[in-house]
A and B are shown apart, each in its own frame.
Chain A
Amino acid sequence: MATALLTGLVLGSIYILVGSGINLVRIATGAFNFAQAAVVMVGAFIAYEFGVERGHSTLIVILVAAAVGAVIGVVTEFVAIRPVAGKGLHGELVTTVGASTILTGLVVVIWGTEVRPVAPFVSDDVVSIAGGRVTVDGLVIIGVAIATCLGLWAWSRLTMTGLAALALSEDRDAATLRGVNVRYLSILAMAAAGAIGGAAGPIIGTQTLAVSTVAAVVILKSFLVLIVGGMGSFPGLLVGGLAIGSIEAGTVRYLGSEYSTFMLFALLLVVLMVRPQGIFGQTHERTV
């Protein structure tokens, strides 16, 4: 029981780490960035290249991964988000999937399709907590995910830039009129999301290793967490992520893996039936 819960929390934390970057971009640009999980994957490969192959320290690996992630974020913003965001055509469904495809393709060309090792972050030893077993790195992931999510929440509520971004997500035109610099915010958000995604790569990589197929697996679950928690909400992301990870792991453990997709689908329907905007989501219904 405890092990399944811990497994679920680690899984959920992976979704949260990927989801926080998506949420950030979503708040600042209104677009859904399908390429975010691919940035995390690139981060994992950087952990392999710099940490395992070249033997650099964890700090350097994280910095390089964050820097590369930020660059990818900014480039994605210019190429795939800005030209299509806010037009109501969901062009990002095509362009950010394209960006994700490019990143995966680049990874395959550079590192191949094989699984590559990622060095332990703190330790890959297994420890017992409250009768459950989990790796030390698993605990690190849970901690980092919670801290990232809470940090971004505080940022969006307490800082001027964060509030400006929130205002932007509520009403783009009004925020623009009040002097919010949309372009600057959009670039900033994509750079930050890229850096977070890149830096998350070496940490998530301790669980997933560096492999080119991981982005596709993780992005959908992260998307699910965002929908269930409420798009654009960091508390929703945190609660949704931990809940969905636990439910997924619990289902696999006690019912069998063949039920997990059906269970998550049922969960999605139930949550959306009760709260169509997600648990912590806000409605923006047009007033008449």
Chain B
Amino acid sequence: MNILRRLGLNGERLWVLPLFLGVLAIVAPWLGVGAGDLRQLMLVAILALTVSGLNLAWGYGGELAIGQLAMYALGAYVTGYLVIEGHDLAVALLASAVASAALGLVTSLPALRISGWGVAMASFFLIIMIPQVVKLFPDQTGGGIGLIGIPAPVFLGRELDDNQFYALVMVVLVLWLLVMRNLVTSRHGSALRVMRESPVLAASLGIDVRRIKITSYVLGAVPAGIAGSLFVFVDRFVAPDYFDFAAAILIIAAAVLGGAETVYGAVVGAAILTVLPARFGVFDEYSEIVFGAFLVGGGILLTNDKLKIRMDGLKLRVRNWGAAEPQRGPAAAGTPNELPALPPRTVVVEEVSKSFGGNRALNGVSLEARPGEITALIGANGSGKTTLLNIISGFYAADSGAVRLDGRALPLGHAVRTARRGVARTFQTPIVPASMTTAEAVAVGRYIADYVSMPSSMVRAPRYRKVAARDAEQGAVWLRATGLADQSRSLARGLSLGDRRMLEVARALATGASVLLLDEVASGLDLEDLERLGALLRAVRDAGGTVILVEHNFRLVTDLADSIYVLERGDLIAHGDAAHIRQNEAVARSYLGDAVAPGLAKGQA
């Protein structure tokens, strides 16, 4: 370990280890590895490429788009046809990648509307249609019998022998894994996880779910197409028999066994499913049973909660290994530091009405939230305050009325565009995606404000590096401000409720917004956390932010808010500062009369 460290290795740079292994694998033929083992390694690599595409869309993006086999088959047929026609493998590889990306694009279109098992079903159809589509082009595909007479691979004008072709396969795998690793460790990986966890959260951060979904389908298709292209030379024969349902199951099983939300797990899963079942043949007629038992056992083992937690912990330790210890102690966890100045923005709600199926939720409500002030919305359950928050943040359209930001109307009902205008929000139940560190969970807020393209992230272009540096710097500001600095490298899911609420505030502010909508941000917090929260919100206000607070906790509201609006069944019944509201009879009757005691009790819970 110390030697590694002296070499300048740490968790952040640990990717050189898989790269080293990859290079070893590439040169394996010249290190005396036997041809039989090389063939096995090549099959592992080809399966791993396909699985890796699945991991991107499914493991990270959460889309049950499990039709990778169709892209694989397409890649194989495109290459098979082209090389028989005498084209170079380089050309065929490129054509296969393009064709499979196009198929990925086509399949992503229905998925913009469908989700979950519907996508899975559509994927299954894609797979069962492979032989039928192949039959439509008998001259190019060889129909049901298959493509015969595939020549030896010719790459960039020179014919490759078995070892050279093997090396080519390995180079492709290593390059893809590098690119994939760069992508998923960038904010795009975080954005995929956010989409998987909650499209609502993604929209609130200004992330265009449609766009990222399409991208994940297209990118997930490319390695599968390339794998299919390379597979052509494995048996020098391609037939629909290769692309049956069992093959699709094999890909899914490899993804699950290796860990779908991983980069290198694809290789592990592919290795398990290539090497082990190769031995099942000796069970003769029992081999199917053995394979089934193997799937059951593997599935149970690899989705085991304890194991997953341990693996997540281990991964985190590896990533954080050798990194500078985050600041600890009171200095780091203490009161919020000064915040950078936020541009002043005024939110004006004009006569907004909204009904849900005949139920009037809001009835011509108007209010104004000014920069440098905390504006609170209170009212009993069903008074319409959360509805109003959802309208301002763009999740609902209003039936009538408008919301203006600095005089310009906000696009009601368009959460993404609203978020991009600089309106950020938190949620009643904090939405914190799994397997992200606190720092990542905050940095993803900067996805839109400081955008880096996917290609740029994949090759770690200078632009990416600059932005990554800014991510660290800006993220640190918000982490310090919310008192999360010493937890920046922990898993965000594992934070306490208070910290998760702080995280949501930090993430919202990281988007660059200066209008902050907080949905019952205090519920469930203890006194200490409430104090932290109060201090943070004051700091945001003092920095010039416009804070809109939807809250049950009356004491917190009267403590913090500069301006309070009281809603009752969709009507605004009072407006004023804390002292004014406390004395308002209508408020006392409607809200405090029966709710003040529980409200206070809740605040102390």
A223 touches B124 (CB 8 A): yes
B288 touches A84 (CB 8 A): no
CA of A83 to CA of B198 in the docked complex: distance in angstroms? 25
B454 located at the interface, meaning its Cβ lies under 8 Å from any Cβ of chain A in the complex: no
B200 touches A288 (CB 8 A): yes
B129 touches A265 (CB 8 A): yes
A268 touches B121 (CB 8 A): yes
Contact (A79, B110) CB under 8 Å given A268-B122, A288-B390: no
Contact (A276, B292) CB under 8 Å given A89-B260, A108-B285: no
- A contact residues, total (Cβ < 8 Å): 45
- B contact residues, total (Cβ < 8 Å): 50
A83 touches B304 (CB 8 A): yes
> Which candidate, A52-60, A128-136, A256-264, is the interface stretch facing chain B?
A256-264
B113 touches A89 (CB 8 A): no
A-B contact pairs, 15 of them (CB 8 A): A32-B117, A83-B303, A91-B303, A94-B298, A102-B292, A102-B296, A103-B292, A105-B290, A105-B291, A108-B285, A109-B285, A227-B117, A227-B121, A261-B125, A288-B393
B64 touches A227 (CB 8 A): no
B286: chain A residues within 8 A (beta carbon): 105, 109
Instruction: Report the minimal beta-carbon distance from A130 to chain B, rounded to whole angstroms.
Output: 33
Instruction: Report the minimal beta-carbon distance from A169 to chain B, rounded to whole angstroms.
Output: 14
* Interface flags, B87-105, vs A, CB<8A=1, else 0: 0000000000000000000
B292: chain A residues within 8 A (beta carbon): 98-105
Q: Which of A84, A104, A216, A258 has its CB near the most chain B CB atoms (within 10 A)?
A: A84
6 additional contacts (CB under 8 A) given A84-B300, A102-B293: A32-B117, A83-B299, A87-B303, A258-B132, A262-B129, A269-B110
> Which candidate, B145-153, B212-220, B249-257, B586-594, is the interface stretch facing chain A?
B249-257
A100: chain B residues within 8 A (beta carbon): 292
What residue of chain A has the Cβ atom nearest to residue B295's Cβ? A98
What residue of chain A has the Cβ atom nearest to residue B125's Cβ? A265
Instruction: Report the minimal beta-carbon distance from B73 to chain A, rounded to whole angstroms.
Output: 15
* Interface flags, B190-201, vs A, CB<8A=1, else 0: 000000001010
B288: chain A residues within 8 A (beta carbon): 101-102, 104-105, 108
CA of A102 to CA of B285 in the docked complex: distance in angstroms? 12
B30 located at the interface, meaning its Cβ lies under 8 Å from any Cβ of chain A in the complex: no
What residue of chain B has the Cβ atom nearest to residue A112's Cβ? B285
B291 touches A101 (CB 8 A): yes
B300 touches A91 (CB 8 A): yes
A93 touches B252 (CB 8 A): yes
A286 located at the interface, meaning its Cβ lies under 8 Å from any Cβ of chain B in the complex: yes
What residue of chain A has the Cβ atom nearest to residue B249's Cβ? A97
B15 located at the interface, meaning its Cβ lies under 8 Å from any Cβ of chain A in the complex: no
B289 located at the interface, meaning its Cβ lies under 8 Å from any Cβ of chain A in the complex: yes
CA of A80 to CA of B298 in the docked complex: distance in angstroms? 10
B298: chain A residues within 8 A (beta carbon): 94, 98
CA of A91 to CA of B132 in the docked complex: distance in angstroms? 30
B303 touches A84 (CB 8 A): yes
Binding site secondary structure of chain B: helix
B305 located at the interface, meaning its Cβ lies under 8 Å from any Cβ of chain A in the complex: yes
A278: chain B residues within 8 A (beta carbon): 118
Contact (A94, B299) CB under 8 Å given A102-B293, A227-B121, A261-B125: yes
A115 located at the interface, meaning its Cβ lies under 8 Å from any Cβ of chain B in the complex: no
B245 located at the interface, meaning its Cβ lies under 8 Å from any Cβ of chain A in the complex: yes
List A residues 53-102 near B (Cβ within 8 Å).
Answer: 79-80, 83-84, 87, 89-95, 97-102
A94 touches B114 (CB 8 A): no
What residue of chain A has the Cβ atom nearest to residue B110's Cβ? A269
A272 touches B289 (CB 8 A): no
A258: chain B residues within 8 A (beta carbon): 132
Contact (A95, B118) CB under 8 Å given A89-B256, A262-B129, A286-B198: no
Instruction: Report the minimal beta-carbon distance from A276 to chain B, rounded to whole angstroms.
Output: 5
List B residues 211-258 near A (Cβ within 8 Å).
Answer: 245, 249, 252-253, 256-257
B294: chain A residues within 8 A (beta carbon): 98
CA of A105 to CA of B291 in the docked complex: distance in angstroms? 9
| Chain A residues near B (Cβ < 8 Å) | 32, 79-80, 83-84, 87, 89-95, 97-106, 108-109, 216, 220, 223-224, 226-227, 231, 258, 261-262, 264-265, 268-269, 272-273, 276, 278, 286, 288
B299: chain A residues within 8 A (beta carbon): 80, 83-84, 91-92, 94-95, 98
B113 touches A94 (CB 8 A): no
| Chain B residues near A (Cβ < 8 Å) | 64, 66, 110, 113-115, 117-118, 121-122, 124-125, 128-129, 132, 198, 200, 204, 245, 249, 252-253, 256-257, 260, 285-300, 302-305, 390, 393, 395, 427, 519
CA of A99 to CA of B293 in the docked complex: distance in angstroms? 7
Contact (A272, B300) CB under 8 Å given A94-B257, A98-B292, A288-B395: no
A273 touches B110 (CB 8 A): yes
B128 touches A109 (CB 8 A): no
Q: Which of A91, A94, A224, A227 has its CB near the most chain B CB atoms (within 10 A)?
A: A94
Instruction: Report the minimal beta-carbon distance from A102 to chain B, rounded to whole angstroms.
Output: 3
CA of A97 to CA of B248 in the docked complex: distance in angstroms? 11
Q: Which of B117, B129, B132, B200 has its CB near the most chain A CB atoms (within 10 A)?
A: B117
Instruction: Report the minimal beta-carbon distance from A257 to chain B, rounded to whole angstroms.
Output: 11
A105 touches B122 (CB 8 A): no
Q: Contact check: which of A91, A103, A231, A262 meets B117 at CB < 8 Å?
A: A231
B295: chain A residues within 8 A (beta carbon): 94-95, 97-98, 101
CA of A235 to CA of B582 in the docked complex: distance in angstroms? 54
Q: Which of B66, B113, B292 has its CB near the most chain A CB atoms (within 10 A)?
A: B292
CA of A92 to CA of B124 in the docked complex: distance in angstroms? 16
CA of A95 to CA of B304 in the docked complex: distance in angstroms? 12
CA of A223 to CA of B116 in the docked complex: distance in angstroms? 13
A109 touches B110 (CB 8 A): no
